[in-house]
Structure 1
Amino acid sequence: MSRKQALIRGTAVLTVTSLSTRFMGFFYRMFLSHTFGEENVGLYQLVFPVYALGISLSCAGMELALSRCVAREAAAGRMQKARELLKTSLIFTFFISCMISLFIRQNADTIALTFLRDSRCSSLLFLLSYTFPFASIHSCICGYSLGLKQTKIPAVSQLLEQAFRILSVIFICMYCSGQGQNISIAFAVAGLTFGEIAASFYSLHSIRQSWKQISEKSRSVFLPPAAFRRHLQRLLEHALPLTASRVFLNILQSVEAVSIPVCLQYYGMPAAQSLQTYGVLTGMALPCILFPSAVTNAVSSMLLPTVAGLQEMKDRQQLRSLILKITCSCILLGCFCCGVLLILGKWIGIFLFKSPLAGNFILTLAWICPFLYTNTVLLSMINGLGKTTCSFLFNLFSLCIRITGVFLFIPAAGISGYLNGLLISQIFLFLCCILRLSVYAGKY
């Protein structure tokens, strides 16, 4: 199969998987709302910043770094080193995730009271802590598979994770209801762990099956200390900037969640109305804008190892052509979505959400589509080229603009100030990525 065919096929598989899990998640949220009530679902959502931060610290950056390094080794025909990189990442991320789990378990009460402002989250955090070791295994094996441009394990494990998460919660609720026992939102948090357990066991089994034809030495988990240190240093050179970027993003999202309603009150909006405005923006308008990102996220997952492989092979013409074609395609996709949302935005807000305000937000946010969708793949290409520090700095400056939009623009202009800050941040990120890739392609 040619490189182009592999990229298209992999993107199609991951896109279908992403859309499927999003539809499953949509109905799952409806089930949670009907079964547990809005207040308990709010508690469930409250622990997700801790979950996202734990994943970012333990394995998110390592997954992307592993994908790039494996792609380069595979392109050079060094599969033994690719397998050693996977073993190194599994050992390291499993250790880090266990430390994070232990920290959360020992400090669940403090985190719940100090950061989440609700003592009821303590038991949920305790259950959530068991998720991270399994998530680290799942993440590393997916990164290794994507580095080899193999999408079966990432796609099937993603579907299994979502299916086991949903079905385990439904079955537990049905059993407790039949026994006359109380139903707790803690079941939904336990579902996260069940989902990651299923995904990690499937991933380990699949890797074991794929390695049956190689020597016993290659299958061994043991690595010489010198090789472990050498591979870990290489992985961390790429993983640390990516991890820092993810952590900053999660911190920003937490800051936004707390600060936007408060800053709207500084603008003069009543507290209840400020919460309603924020809910319409994040729960109705933004999901509509982000829905097509299932395509660009799939493209970015396949692009990183593809770009790394072309760089290793020093295929200059192919690399420049790929950057140009993918960038233009994403811009066209963004422009098309922008046009559709400008035409149908008002109708979507009223028909789907019964909210004219959501329609207004969709119209405003439509202009962000060409930049938002393209930035995802541009950053993936930059990471694929090994310029993870650049992507970190670009993300950092873009996040600073968003924070400025929250604390300076909202008190002066209301929610439109934040939306303008969001648009400016995406344009800034787009220009930085385009400039960096242009300079690199010119020199390369």
Structure 2
Amino acid sequence: MGEKSFFKGALVLSVAGLIVKVIGALYKIPLARLIGDEGMGLYQMAYPVYGILLTLSTAGIPVAISILVAEKQAKDDYFAAHRIFRLSLMIMAAFGSLFTLLLFISAKWLATHIFLNPGVFYGLIAVAPAIFLTAVTSAFRGYFQGNQTMVPTATSQIIEQVIRVTTVLLLAYLLLPRGLEFAAAGATFGAVTGGLAALGVLLQAYKKHRQKYKAELQPVEKTEPVSILLTRIITLAFPVSVGGLVVPIMQAIDATIIPTRLLLAGHTSERVTQLFGQFSGMANPLINIAPIITISISLALVPVISEAMAKNNKQEVSYRVNQALWSTFLIGLPSAAGLWVLATPICAMLYDKPEVGPLVAILAPSTLLLGLYQTTRGTLQGMGKTYLPVINLTTGIIIKGTLNYVLVAIPALSIQGAGIATVTGFTVSVALNLFYVKKYTQFKMDWKKNLVLPLVSTIIMVLAVRSIYLLANQPLGNTLGSIIAIATGIITYGTAILATGGVEPQDLRIIPGIGPKLAGILGKFKV
């Protein structure tokens, strides 16, 4: 896969991810205003269970599909690549059906005995069919990513999010007169309508893909037995599945430990639900906006690394890892710093909740840490070492859970203790991932370009943003002052990173379409 092709795939997924995340961040503003802290708490409580069962139903197979399809196509064995996809699709459809049924059956018990809130029942029932739909769409996305064809995945993600958000807001509004639990359930049903829309898009894209490559998909004389294919799929998928379970399990633990420890800290039951809604429904979505680009790099990286490993091209592996880490620091550092310095103004502007600002400021480093985790995870998965990110993430989660239990119950920290625990846990996981990436790739990182120059540019940006906000806030108000400060930050960082040499003309040439033109313009100015 050429350098431009790799970045084209990452760029397509990044643009789609950006659109999806912007829509996702924006819809939560009117939703939070519509159903309030308590409604957001009910809405967020249903999702961890959905996430756990979805992970069980997909079982890490999309990553396995991406790796194996890329590996087979590197050897021009297109028929085997398609067999892997069909086999995986059948497995995921079966598991998706099973776990959808399981959630329907167990929803009432979970609501009353695990969440201790009967109102969560309706949300669990509403989201259950999405498990089957998302499992099937994940198989198609893994296949297209293994083919290094990112457009179907990107298109389906955008359409899924648009339909989902429309459903969320419409049903929450229509069902609100019946009570918060029904409004929250209506909102969770958006995952079902969005999943249906995405599946429709992917089926259409798959039909066109089969017609285009019909000749290459003809059977060859010698094919691998199904048992061997299954063994390879399971070997790669099982660690990913376990790793995928860690995050929703962590969210489920958060949904139980954090409220109980907040009660111990002296908060009322209603206030506990509000604080949990602020943590999971307001602060976390802001933290997850910037990593959409790094998750796109990670997804594009898996088949690239897998292909390079299949060809035993260690130099290519090392180069791609360095390139991905540079991109992550370039984006993650200013994103984390900007969110930290403007945490309270942003929360006041978006949610009319300035009190959420200190929590967001504490969580801000997670923006960079999550990006680094995604990039290093993609590298290790592409190398076939799918078990290492699982072990490392689990280690971080254990530390996070322990700190949650201790810190959240301290009245002086309260919900902010959950933020400290999250940052600490991610730091440990990232450090372990970086250790193993270094061990197995032997890459030499360019510390000056990858870290020092983005850091210097970020410091300059923070000083400019803080100064502009203080000057603009009083005469113009918080909203306009925040917008001006954010725009100033983007311009300042962009200028600083170019002036310091953190981004050079040759770095821009690899951007599909406009890259060479941008490089030419910068070259004329001798930037």
TM range (shorter): 0.7 to 0.9
Q: What whole-Å deviation, never above 9, does each CA across 1:116-152 have from its counterpart, x for those lacking one?
A: 4344544543443322222222110101111111111
2: CA distance, partners of 1:378 / 1:191 = 32
TM-score (norm 1): 0.87
Q: CA deviation at 1:269?
A: 5.3
Match 1:254 to one of 252, 255, 260 = 252
| Aligned-partner SS, 1:387 | coil
Q: CA deviation at 1:89?
A: 0.5
Alignment partner, residue 522 of structure 2: none
Verify the 8 A CA contact 2:130 2:191 in the aligned structure 1.
yes
2: CA distance, partners of 1:11 / 1:317 = 20
The letter for the 2-side match of 1:323 is V
Distance change (3 Å), C-alpha of 1:109 and 1:428: closer
Q: How does 1:31-50 map to 2 (within 5 A)?
A: 32=31, 42-50=41-49
Distance change (3 Å), C-alpha of 1:107 and 1:351: closer
The letter for the 2-side match of 1:239 is A
Q: What whole-Å deviation, never above 9, does each CA across 1:81-113 have from its counterpart, x for those lacking one?
A: 110110010011111111112222333333333
Distance change (3 Å), C-alpha of 1:436 and 1:55: same
Alignment partner, residue 92 of structure 2: 93
Counterpart check, 1:294 vs 2:292? yes
Q: Which moved more, 1:30-39 or 1:99-108?
A: 30-39
Q: How does 1:16-415 map to 2 (within 5 A)?
A: 16-30=15-29, 32=31, 42-59=41-58, 61-167=60-166, 185=183, 186-215=185-214, 218=217, 227-268=225-266, 274-412=272-410, 414-415=413-414
2: CA distance, partners of 1:34 / 1:414 = 26
2: CA distance, partners of 1:48 / 1:192 = 10
Distance change (3 Å), C-alpha of 1:172 and 1:225: farther
Provide the identity percentage: 22
| Aligned-partner SS, 2:116 | coil
The letter for the 2-side match of 1:333 is I
Q: CA deviation at 1:420?
A: 3.3
Verify the 8 A CA contact 2:115 2:256 in the aligned structure 1.
no
Gaps in structure 2 of 5+ consecutive residues:
444-527
Distance change (3 Å), C-alpha of 1:202 and 1:274: closer
Alignment partner, residue 437 of structure 1: 437
The letter for the 1-side match of 2:356 is A
The letter for the 2-side match of 1:117 is L
Verify the 8 A CA contact 1:375 1:429 in the aligned structure 2.
yes
2: CA distance, partners of 1:166 / 1:54 = 22
The letter for the 1-side match of 2:371 is Y
The letter for the 1-side match of 2:199 is S
1: CA distance, partners of 2:121 / 2:265 = 34
- Over the aligned positions, Cα root-mean-square deviation in angstroms equals 3.4
Q: CA deviation at 1:318?
A: 1.3
Distance change (3 Å), C-alpha of 1:153 and 1:428: same
Verify the 8 A CA contact 2:38 2:273 in the aligned structure 1.
no
Q: Which moved more, 1:120-129 or 1:106-115?
A: 120-129
Verify the 8 A CA contact 1:72 1:312 in the aligned structure 2.
yes
Verify the 8 A CA contact 1:149 1:302 in the aligned structure 2.
yes
Distance change (3 Å), C-alpha of 1:69 and 1:332: same
2: CA distance, partners of 1:320 / 1:3 = 15
Q: CA deviation at 1:299?
A: 1.0
Q: CA deviation at 1:404?
A: 1.0
Distance change (3 Å), C-alpha of 1:408 and 1:41: closer
The letter for the 2-side match of 1:299 is I
Distance change (3 Å), C-alpha of 1:404 and 1:8: same
| Aligned-partner SS, 1:341 | helix
2: CA distance, partners of 1:103 / 1:169 = 24
Q: Which moved more, 1:144-153 or 1:200-209?
A: 200-209
2: CA distance, partners of 1:349 / 1:176 = 27
2: CA distance, partners of 1:363 / 1:128 = 32
1: CA distance, partners of 2:173 / 2:420 = 47
Verify the 8 A CA contact 2:78 2:217 in the aligned structure 1.
no
The letter for the 1-side match of 2:430 is F
Q: Which moved more, 1:21-30 or 1:138-147?
A: 21-30
2: CA distance, partners of 1:285 / 1:182 = 25
2: CA distance, partners of 1:136 / 1:438 = 33
TM-score (norm 2): 0.74
Q: CA deviation at 1:320?
A: 0.7
Distance change (3 Å), C-alpha of 1:111 and 1:360: closer
2: CA distance, partners of 1:281 / 1:45 = 10
